[in-house]
Each structure stands twice: as C-alpha cells, then as structure tokens.
C-alpha cells in the first residue's frame, strides 16, 4: 500500500530551460527575448532550479528525473551550469536521471548581452552523454546504440527507461518526436528482460493526445505504436513534459503525466511514490517562495498571455475596449487554470460566462477562441493528482 516502508519516492520535473547567467544581462537584447517568450522566468531560472533541488534534498527523495529541455536552447554554458548543480544534488545522496529534449542538442544557441545577440557553442549527442555521464548514462544497465535512450535499475524491483524521442536528421533536431525502428526494437528487448518488475518509462515528447491544439510538434509521430508496446508489457505510467502544462491523459491503457516546468507559473514539480506492491501515487508540489514573489510571477505570466490575446483580437470595430478587456481576462483565467492542471475548478462557471458569449458572437474566427473552446470540453479532473 502507498505509505509503506518500502515506498520509492522520485521527484519529477521537466523543461527547466535553464540559461547560464554568463549568457545574458539586463540589456535590450535579453529584455526583448523575455517579452516575446511564453512567460518563462528565464532571468530567475537558476534561482528557481536551485530552490527545487534544495527541496528534493530536504524531502529525501530516492531519485530525481528530468524529462528534457534542460537548457534554454542547447547552450554549452547552460549545460555546464546545470551539471554543476546536479553534482550538488547527487552529493546530497539523490541519484539524478536526465534525458534530452528538443532544446538541448545542436540548437541555434545564443547569448543576449547589451544590444547584441551572438552565437555561442552548443552540444552534440556525444557531448550530451559525456556531460551527463553521472546522471543516467554512466549508471545505465542498457544503452541504445542508435539514440540517447537508456535503462537504469532504481531498485531491485523498479526500473526506469529514459527514451530519447527527439527526432534528429544528420544530428539536427526536427520539429517532431518519434521512436525509430532500431530504438523500438531495443525498447522491446528491455521490457522483455524485466517483465514482471515495475517499470516507469519517460520521454520528452508526448505519448498521448492531450488537446486538439497541441498535436503537431508535441505528440510522437508513432505514439500509438509506442503506447501499444508499453501496454503489452504492462507499463502503467509514461512521464513527459514539452507542453509546459500540467496534464494527464492516456493511450492504449498507458497513463501519461506531462509535468509543468519549475520556471513557468505555478512553478511546481511532480512527486511520484511507488509502493512495494506496484501502486503509484503522483502529485505536484509548488516550489517554496515568498507570497510576494509568487504573485509577481503570476502577474508576469498572466500579462504575457493577455498581450498575446490582444494581438489575436486585433483592431475590431465591433468590439469596445471594455469588451476586449473582458474577453482577455476570461481567456487568461482559463489558460492559467488549464496550464496549472486546475481547469476543472472553473469549467462550469466559464461555460456560462458573458465573456464566452462575446467570443462566440464577435470573435469566433480567432485562434484563442478555438483554444478556449478546446479547454471547455475537457473532462473535469484534477491533473495534479493521479493514483494507479
């Protein structure tokens, strides 16, 4: 049962998008990057990651898993910065396991200093595996020779398979994810070799359909084939990220949890508990910070999203300024609740709101109207908690 002495506890996070402080300052180039981004707290990424790692140590987790997008955009300096931080976690006695995301290898890495944006060194697959030798690759009981996938033994009865499902052609990352045939064969061999043991599988790209607006570029091209294979070997849980939202879905009987980033509001990470009889409990924990700081992060994220909505609505003679404001507030309410995994709390209220009627009657051709409607058809469940 959950709560027994033999429970194994693993902290789960994704999409750190950490940027080394040597790569930016308070100049116009970095300021423009922040304002045009998706609301990440890039400037405070190292601070947020440091606090999360401290909590992982203080709460005595048995392991830490990071499911890709370790760096902002593959900068060697950011990888090196993160490695030093992970060494501290490991020295605390917490093993760390990482896998690559689409922003980690052979990217157009840049620095943002003053008015200048300059190219900086990135990493290739070989350098990635060498950098993270102490954080999964050196502890693997099996490594796939055709990708950066590997398997580790967490405990005698629990295994973790980290999948490199970022598609790369001639070494350069593509805008889609997949598991290629050679890696599929490797994966099945590993699953066969540990049949009867508890196994968690993780990857950056998503295994399941989560939302009609998040398909191309988010879900693995061969998601059904992969999910079917996992289901045949009784894998119950797949852990991912990539969407920057907290969301649970399923495919071929396999549950997927996409964990939201520590650097994006509401700044949280996952806590997975596995009992000796294989029962699992996943829940999220918000990073500890001062209430004032959390409110500032919330307001920044909300304002960033509303600016995008204002652009989408554009100049419309049929809408007053007041109506546009009401519609943007409605959209922000839904978006923040959805991305934090808590939309179930407000779905009924928002379906009947006057703001929705404005969208339906005066802006139904907008992207954000379609996005809001995709949220409103969601099943009313708490995406911050899963029992298996």
What class has domain 8-286? alpha beta
Residue 169 confidence (pLDDT): 78
- The pLDDT of 353-380, averaged and rounded, is 96
Condensed to tens digits (0 to 9), the pLDDT of residues 14-55 reads 999 999 999 999 999 999 999 989 899 999 999 999 999 999
Lowest mean pLDDT among 7-21, 58-72, 287-301, 308-322: 308-322
Residue 280 confidence (pLDDT): 97
- The domains of the chain are located at 8-286, 291-376
Question: What pTM, to 2 d.p., does this model score?
Answer: 0.96
Angle at 95 between CA 91 and CA 96, to 5 degrees: 105
pLDDT at 5 over 70: no
pLDDT at 2 over 80: no
The pLDDT mean for the chain works out to 95
Is 121 within 8 Å of 137 (Cβ atoms)? no
Residue 1's pLDDT band, with cuts at 50, 70 and 90, is very low
pLDDT at 175 over 90: no
Distance from CA of residue 74 to its chain's centroid?
A: 16
Q: How far apart are CA 29 and CA 171, in angstroms?
A: 29
Strands 237-240 and 254-258: parallel
**174 or 39, which is more confident?**
39
Is 178 within 8 Å of 221 (Cβ atoms)? yes
Residue 213 confidence (pLDDT): 87
- Tell me if residue 49 falls in helix, strand or coil: helix
């Amino acid at each position: 049962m959950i709560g027994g002495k033999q429970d194994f506890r693993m902290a789960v996070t994704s999409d750190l998008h950490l940027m080394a402080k040597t790569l930016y300052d308070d100049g116009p180039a970095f300021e423009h990057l922040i304002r045009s981004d998706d609301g990440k707290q890039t400037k405070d990424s190292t601070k947020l990651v440091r606090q999360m790692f401290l909590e992982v140590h203080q709460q005595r987790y048995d392991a830490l898993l990071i499911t890709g997008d370790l760096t902002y955009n593959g900068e060697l300096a950011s990888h090196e910065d993160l490695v030093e931080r992970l060494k501290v976690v490991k020295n605390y006695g917490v093993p760390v396991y990482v896998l690559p995301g689409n922003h980690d290898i052979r990217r157009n890495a840049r620095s943002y200093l003053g008015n200048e944006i300059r190219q900086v060194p990135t990493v290739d697959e070989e350098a990635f595996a060498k950098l993270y030798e102490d954080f999964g690759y050196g502890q693997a009981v099996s490594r796939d020779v055709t990708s950066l996938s590997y398997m580790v033994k967490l405990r005698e009865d629990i295994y973790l398979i980290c999948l490199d499902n970022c598609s790369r052609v001639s070494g350069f990352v593509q805008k889609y994810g997949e598991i290629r045939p050679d890696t599929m064969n490797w994966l099945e061999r590993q699953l066969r070799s540990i049949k009867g043991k508890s196994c968690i599988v993780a990857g950056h790209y998503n295994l399941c359909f989560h939302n009609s607006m998040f398909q191309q570029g988010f879900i693995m091209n061969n998601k059904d084939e992969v999910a079917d294979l996992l289901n045949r070997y009784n894998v119950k849980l797949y852990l991912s990220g990539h969407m920057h939202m907290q969301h649970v879905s399923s495919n071929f009987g396999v549950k997927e949890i996409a964990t939201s980033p520590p650097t994006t509001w509401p700044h949280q990470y996952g806590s997975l508990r596995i009992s000796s009889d294989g029962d699992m409990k996943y829940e999220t924990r918000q990073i500890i910070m001062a209430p004032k700081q959390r409110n500032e992060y919330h307001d920044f994220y909300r304002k960033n999203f509303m600016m995008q909505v204002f652009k989408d609505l554009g100049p419309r003679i049929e809408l007053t300024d007041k109506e546009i404001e009401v519609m943007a507030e409605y959209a922000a309410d839904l978006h923040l609740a959805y991305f934090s995994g808590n939309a179930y709390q407000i779905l009924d209220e928002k379906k009947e709101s006057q703001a929705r009627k404005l969208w339906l009657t005066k802006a139904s051709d907008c992207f954000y109207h379609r996005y809001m409607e995709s949220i409103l058809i969601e099943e009313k469940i708490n995406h911050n908690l899963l029992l298996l």
